Amino acid sequence: MEPFKLIRVQDNQAAIHAAGVTRTKFIAGGTNMLDLMKLNIETPKQVIDINKLGLNKIEELKSGNILIGALVKNSDLAYHPTIIKNFPVLSEALLSGASPQLRNMASVGGNLMQRTRCPYFYNTDFACNKRVPGSGCAAIDGYNRNNAILGTSDKCIATHPSDMCVAMAALGAIIHVQGIKGVRTIPFTDFHLLPGQTPHIEHTLKQDELITHVEIPALPSGSKSHYLKVRDRASYEFALTSAAVVLNIQNGRIKNARLALGGVGTKPWRALLAEKVLIGAIANEQNYRTAAAAALSQAKGHKDNTFKIELAKRTLVRALITTGGMS
């Protein structure tokens, strides 16, 4: 680990102004950042401790939306009564990720910012365009069983690792940020970027901007949701595939559908093509399978991970059946 300067701040403005310096990082729980610093993948000259900013509340707004502070711990969010009752997909996603010890430390804002677990990103002996732009992508010709099949490019096939972010993508979350120029909101699907030719640029957050809250829009009355994660072992494992499903069904027909996939995309993957198939359709297995085929229609398998295409389809169908049943 390289030497760095640690700054503790007491308010948002102090954090934002301190962040204007090159090679500065915010830190809350540090469950991802510290690992990367120890491996010299992240080498900040300045680290800003934001734990005293007070962004640790979960509030229900008059609109019915939920406003979640960026410093809320993953475990607190997962076990919050309103989240369990109204947004079970988010609670289930959080509880399927990491371990209880990590969930007790990890923050919502940090979860949004976590970086890929691609083994070639973590091993500095190998080329990685995320770590060293222009160096190449060792995963493309290497062992890539856990890598992405959606949103890839010839520069990167790294998978986004978060479970929470998959649920938030399906819920249509809104990210609130504050910077020197003021505050703004970012739709969740616009926050994370596809790798394209610049895989080292992973999000739309500016250097001086701080995530303050995540807002979850209220769901239509009668909506049901579920998160299903498929992995090699039952605990403390990243997804091979996962599906977040939010459905509103009336009289046997799907009035509204929001779907997202994990373990398969270079970012939390909103399955918009599948949603179009389902909206207005009868809630039955055939339509679920048609939607799953649409969700994976643009998937591109690589040497070791082509199996994910079929597995992701089956994961989504199973999650749809669990959530919506069959008319």
Q: What is the pLDDT of residue 164?
A: 98
Q: What is the pLDDT of residue 21?
A: 86
**Count of domains observed in the chain:** 1
Please give the residue range of the domain that contains residue 234. Answer: 224-324
Instruction: Decide if 286 is inside a domain.
Output: yes
Instruction: Decide if 73 is inside a domain.
Output: no
Instruction: Decide if 298 is inside a domain.
Output: yes
pTM value is 0.98
Tens-of-pLDDT digits for all 327 residues of the chain? 999 999 999 999 999 999 988 899 999 999 999 999 999 999 999 999 999 999 999 999 999 999 999 999 999 999 999 999 999 999 999 999 999 999 999 999 999 999 999 999 999 999 999 999 999 999 999 999 999 999 999 999 999 999 999 999 999 999 999 999 999 999 999 999 999 999 999 999 999 999 999 999 999 999 999 999 999 998 889 999 999 999 999 999 999 999 999 999 999 999 999 999 999 999 999 999 999 999 999 999 999 999 999 999 999 999 999 999 987
Instruction: Decide if 248 is inside a domain.
Output: yes
Instruction: Decide if 269 is inside a domain.
Output: yes
Q: What is the pLDDT of residue 327?
A: 79
Instruction: Decide if 166 is inside a domain.
Output: no
Strand 253-262 to strand 269-270: parallel, antiparallel, or no bridges (unpaired)? antiparallel
Nearest alpha-carbon partner for 73 in 58, 87, 59: 58
Q: What is the pLDDT of residue 271?
A: 98
CATH classification of the domain holding 304: 3.30.390.50
Instruction: Decide if 138 is inside a domain.
Output: no
Question: What tens digit of pLDDT does each residue of 92-143 get?
Answer: 999 999 999 999 999 999 999 999 999 999 999 999 999 999 999 999 999 9
Instruction: Decide if 238 is inside a domain.
Output: yes
Q: What is the pLDDT of residue 198?
A: 98
Q: What is the pLDDT of residue 31?
A: 96
